[in-house]
A and B are shown apart, each in its own frame.
Chain A
Amino acid sequence: MLRFIIRRLIQMVGVVIVLSALVFAWLKVLPGGTVGALLGERATPERRAAMEKALGLDQPIYVQYWEFVKRAVRGEFGASTSVQPGTDAMDVFLTRFPATIELAVCALVIAVLLGVPLGYLAARRRASWFDNVSIVSSLVGIAVPVFFLAFMLQYVFAVKLHWLPVSGRQDPDVNGTRVTGFFILDGLLTREFDASWNAIKHLILPSIALATIPFAVVFRITRASVLEVLDEDYVRTAESKGLTNRVIRGRHVLRNALLPVVTTIGLQTGGLLVGAVLTERVFSWGGLGDALALAFTRRDYAVLQVCILMATVTFVVVNLLVDIAYAVIDPRVRTR
C-alpha cells in the first residue's frame, strides 16, 4: 500500500512538471506577448525592448522557463493587476481558495449523501415509480442551467421569502475572527458559533445550486453500477449463504458498486474546485471561480497563472486521493 502511494506521488511530480511547461508555453503564445499585454499595442519599439530586458525576455527560452519555475516554486507571480490591483497574486489565491473549498465540499457532501443512497434504492426497485421519478429528477438536475437554478433559488428563498441571505459568505456585521479562512471552521475554533451559523446559512443556497449536476451524475452512476453488481455471481453466492440483507447490501453489493462511483466523485470534485464560476458569480461568493472569470476578462495574467497552476495541482492531488481510495476498496488495484 505504501509503495503504491509513493509510486503515485512520483507520477504526480511528473504531471505537475508537464503542466507547468504547458502554462509557461501558453504565456509565450499570448496574442501580443507578455510585453504587449503589459504596455498595450501602441508602445514604441524602444520601450518594448527595455521592458523585455527588465523582464528577462531577451534570455534564451530554457533560461526563461527555469526562472519561471523558480518563481513558481517560491509562489512569486507578481502583483494582481485588475482582480485586486496591487495585491500579490498568490495572496489573492490564498484568500479565495478556502471560500471555494468550503462551497465545493458542501456541494459534494450533498451530492454524495443524496446520490449514493437514492441510486442504490432506485436500482433495488428498478422500474418502480420511485425509480422512474428519480431518473426524471436527475435528468432535470443535469438539464437545468446552473445559473438559472442559482437565480431562482436566490429569488425565491432569499429575495421573496427572506429565509436565507442573498449573497456573500457572511453578513458584513458579523465580523468573525479569521484563523484558517474557512468561515465555518473559524467560528468553531474561536467559539464564535454565531459566525459559524451565519456562514452556514450563506452556504446553503449556493451549495444546492452547485450540487445538482454532481448529484445527478453520482445518482446515475450508482444506479447503473448497483444494477450491474446485483447480477454478479458473487451476490448469488452471498444469497446462497443465507446472509442477512444488511451484510449482502453493504459488503457484497455496495462495496463493489462504489468503485466507479469513487472515480466519478473524484472527477466531479476536481471540476467543483475549479469551475464553480457561474454559481460563485450569482452569489458573489468571492472564491476562485469569481477571480478566474475576472482575471480572464481583464487580462490579469499574474492571477491567471496562479489560479491555473494551483488548479492543476489541486486536480492532481484529488486524483491521487481517488487512486488511494480505489486501492483501499479494491485489493486488485494494490498489487498492480
Chain B
Amino acid sequence: MTDTLSTSQPHPRSDSDEPLLSVRDLTVTFQRAGDEPFVAVDGVSFDLRPGDTLGIVGESGSGKSVTSLAIMGLLPERGVRVTGEVLYNGQDLLKLSPTQMRDRRGAELGMIFQDPLSSLNPVVPIGLQVTEVLERHRGLSRKAAMPLAKEMLDRVGIPDPDRRLKDYPHQLSGGMRQRALIAMALAAEPRVLIADEPTTALDVTIQAQILAVLKDLVEDTGTALIMITHDLGVVAGLVDTVNVMYAGRVVERAARHPLFAEPRHPYTAGLLASIPRLDGSRGERLQPIPGSVADNLPWTSACAFAPRCSQPIDQCRAQTPELVQHDDRALRCFNPMEVTR
C-alpha cells in the first residue's frame, strides 16, 4: 500500500450534515476512434451522507450504471473521459492515482453487481473470494480472515457457512451467490456501498430476501447505500431519496414518499404507471412508455424525453430544461404533471 490513508481507521458515525460522498457535475463521455463522442452521463450531481440510502432509477441506457462505475473508478481508461468531481470525505476520487484508488475500492467503497454467477470467479472457492478482501485491506493472514469471512456469510444469511466457505460458485444457488457477493463487498466494512441492479437476475421471492438482507446490513453498519435499478418497485421499500435519470441526466429527484405519491416528471409518472399493482382494479392495463431511447432528442437543444412524453409542449423541442429545485423536489421539466391534491 503506497497510500497512507489507513483502512483500519474506525469509521466514525457522525450525524453531521457533511456529505460522505459528493458527486459534482459528473460527466462521462465515450470517445472511440472514428465514432461520434457519446455522452453517457451528463452533469450528474448528488450528495450522500453517512447512513443515507439513495436510489438511481432509469431504464437501460440512462447512464445509471456508468455513473456507478465512474464513482468506483472502474471505467476503462482508453476511450473514456470523466469530468466533474467525486468528493469522498472532501477528497476528489477522480484525481487519485490508480494505486490510491485501488486502496479505496473494497475498503471505503464497495460494489455489488447484477449477475451473481458471472460476477464470481468460477475457479476460486467462496471463502477465498471473501478473505482476499480482508487480506488486502485489513492486512490479515488468510487464516485469521477465515473466521471473519464465515461470520460475514452468516450475516448475509448463508446457512452452513463453514461448508460454503469451501464451495465454488457453481455449487450455490442464485440467491446464495448474490448473498456471497454482498458478503465480499461488505467484508472490509466500506462506508459507501453501490448496488448495481443486485436483484435483476433473481426470481421475485429471492429478490425480496436479498433486498431485506441489504436493508438490514446497511442499517446495522451505517453504510451509505446507492441503489441502482430500472425497477421503481425495488427502491420503494429501501431508499430515502430517489434520483430518476433519463438519457444521462437527472430529471427528477425527491424523497421516496412524495415521488411515489405524486410523480411530477412525465417520465417518472410513466415508470410508475408501468409497474403492475396488486391493488389495481381487475383488467386494468399496464401503461408502457411509448417509444425507446433511440427516439431521444439531444439535451443541448431540447428535452431528450420530449418524443416519448405524454404531454409535451412546443418549448420542450426548442429549449433545454434545467434541473430546478421546487418545494419538495428537483425537477427538469417545462410542463410537469399537475399536482392532484
Interface residues in chain A, defined as those with a beta carbon under 8 Å from any beta carbon in chain B: 232-234, 236-244, 247, 251-252, 255-256, 329-332, 335
Contact = CB atoms under 8 A, between A and B. Distances in A.
A86 B105 CA distance: 73
B168 interface: yes
Nearest to B114: A233
B136 A234 contact: no
A240 B104 contact: no
B216 to A, nearest CB: 22
Given A242-B136, A251-B132, A256 B123 contact: yes
Interface in B159-201: 168, 170-171, 181, 184-185
B110 interface: yes
Nearest to B110: A240
A256 B121 contact: yes
A241 B105 CA distance: 6
Contact of A243 (B101, B110, B132): B132
B281 interface: no
Contact of B104 (A234, A238, A239, A242): A242
Given A251-B124, A331-B123, A242 B132 contact: no
B122 A234 contact: yes
Given A233-B115, A243-B136, A251-B132, A238 B121 contact: yes
A234 B129 CA distance: 10
Contacts of B137: 242
A331 B123 CA distance: 6
Contact of A240 (B74, B115, B118, B123): B74
30 contacts: A234-B118, A234-B120, A234-B121, A234-B122, A236-B74, A239-B105, A240-B105, A240-B106, A240-B110, A240-B111, A240-B185, A241-B132, A241-B133, A241-B136, A242-B103, A242-B104, A242-B107, A242-B133, A242-B137, A243-B106, A247-B132, A247-B136, A251-B124, A255-B123, A255-B124, A329-B123, A330-B123, A331-B125, A331-B168, A331-B170
B305 interface: no
Given A233-B113, A247-B132, A331-B168, A240 B72 contact: yes
Contacts of B115: 233
Contacts of A239: 74, 105
Q: How large is the interface on B (under 10, 10 to 19, 20 to 34, 35 or more residues)?
A: 20 to 34
B174 to A, nearest CB: 14
Contacts of B181: 237
A167 B128 CA distance: 51
B119 interface: yes
A237 B122 contact: no
A242 B122 contact: no
B155 interface: no
B24 interface: no
B136 A232 contact: no
Contacts of B101: 242
Given A252-B121, A256-B122, 10 more contacts: A232-B118, A237-B119, A240-B105, A240-B106, A241-B106, A242-B102, A243-B132, A243-B133, A252-B124, A331-B123
A329 B124 CA distance: 9
B82 to A, nearest CB: 16
Contacts of B113: 233, 236-237, 240
B158 to A, nearest CB: 17
A251 B103 contact: no
A238 B113 CA distance: 11
A236 B123 contact: no
A238 B105 CA distance: 10
Contact of A251 (B118, B120, B121, B168): B121
Q: Sort A-B residue pairs by CB-CB distance and give the 8 closest, nearest first.
A: A242-B105, A242-B106, A241-B106, A233-B118, A331-B168, A240-B111, A234-B121, A233-B119
A332 B106 contact: no
Nearest to A329: B123
A332 B118 contact: no
Contacts of B121: 234, 237-238, 251-252, 255-256
A234 B169 CA distance: 11
A244 B123 contact: no
A232 B118 CA distance: 7
